[in-house]
């Protein structure tokens, strides 16, 4: 069975939301790709409403269901990212320590890069150990925009 998906225009660019009907399975930001026909379902609609509220500064948390698909290590990183409070940041080292693998800073970065749920699994809240904005799959400019958005809404 193929998943439903829809590509929405937002004030921060194109946003593709994909769903198996029950869960959101992926979100792609900016340059979403697809060879399939658009199919919109209620799960996608509710996810889009919440994401748009976030972009408008009216939402800090998400309630739509997501399905994390990845390695056990990736899922441990992504679950830890969801614990970072809104408007705050952590370093790659902080995340590595919190998942019990203090030497896995680079692996944490790789897991962030494979995150299928930008914004919802807030990999944009992870920064370099000296406070620098480092690596973001959607570009450092977008990472900065998202962090500023959250700082302004705190």
pLDDT digits (tens, 9 = 90+) for 7-34: 888 888 888 999 998 999 999 887 666 6
Distance between CA 136 and CA 128 in Å, rounded?
Answer: 11
pLDDT digits (tens, 9 = 90+) for 57-91: 899 999 999 999 999 999 999 999 999 999 999 99
- Domain with 108, as residue range(s), is 72-153
**Catalytic site residue from 27, 66, 104, 123:** 123
DSSP summary character for residue 3: P
Read off the pLDDT band of 42 (50, 70, 90): very high
Number of domains in the chain: 2
Asked which of 12, 28, 55 is the last residue of a domain, the reply is 55
Instruction: Report if residue 91 sits inside a domain.
Output: yes
Q: Is 123 an active-site residue?
A: yes
Regarding whether 82 and 21 lie in a shared domain, the answer is: no
Instruction: Report if residue 147 sits inside a domain.
Output: yes
Regarding whether 135 and 76 lie in a shared domain, the answer is: yes
| Model pTM score | 0.87
């Amino acid at each position: 069975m193929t998943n439903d998906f829809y590509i929405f225009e937002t004030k921060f660019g194109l946003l593709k939301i994909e769903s198996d009907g029950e869960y959101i399975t992926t979100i792609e930001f900016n340059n979403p790709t697809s060879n399939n026909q658009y199919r919109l379902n209620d799960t996608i609609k509710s996810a889009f409403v919440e994401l748009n509220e976030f972009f408008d500064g009216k939402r800090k948390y998400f309630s739509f269901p997501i399905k994390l698909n990845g390695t056990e290590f990736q899922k441990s990183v992504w679950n830890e990212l969801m614990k970072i409070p809104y408007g705050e940041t952590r370093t790659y080292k902080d995340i590595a320590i919190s998942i019990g693998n203090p030497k896995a800073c680079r692996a944490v970065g790789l897991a962030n890069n494979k995150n299928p749920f930008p914004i919802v699994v807030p990999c944009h809240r992870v920064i370099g150990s000296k406070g620098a904005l480092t690596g973001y799959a959607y570009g450092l400019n977008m990472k900065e925009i998202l962090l500023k958005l959250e700082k302004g809404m705190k």
